[in-house]
Amino acid sequence: MKTIKINRLFHGYASARDYQVQEAMEGMENIRFVLPDGRTMTVPYSKLSKGYWNNEVFKSKQTVGQIYKLVDYDWKSDPKEAQLSIL
């Protein structure tokens, strides 16, 4: 499972970079989003391609020359038991 820490939701969506989603799809992995307050959401491998693939291109602030697009997923929190297991 690939874990992505995000700082906030944007209009109710969790966003991942396109290359993170591609890596998870190639490795047939789920993605788990984690918010600072401990809430989590898991997107199963079978639904990774169903995210909202944006066309806007961003430049990375950490890696010079790297560009990416965002993939948004409608936030649906994991059940409490799953959230407690990562704390």
Question: How does pLDDT run across 5-64, given as a tens digit for each residue?
Answer: 999 999 999 999 999 999 999 999 999 999 999 999 999 999 999 999 999 999 999 889
- How many other β-carbons are positioned within 10 Å of the β-carbon of residue 37? 6
pTM: 0.85
Per domain, the residue ranges of the chain are: 2-74
The per-residue pLDDT for 82 is: 59
The per-residue pLDDT for 86 is: 56
- Let me know the angle formed at the C-alpha of 32 by 27 and 35, rounded to the nearest 5 degrees: 150
What's at 52, amino acid-wise?
Y
What's at 27, amino acid-wise?
G
The per-residue pLDDT for 80 is: 72
| pLDDT above 80: residue 85 | no
Class (C level, CATH) for 2-74? mainly beta
- If we measure between CA atoms, which residue out of 7, 6, 69 comes closest to residue 43? 6
The per-residue pLDDT for 40 is: 95
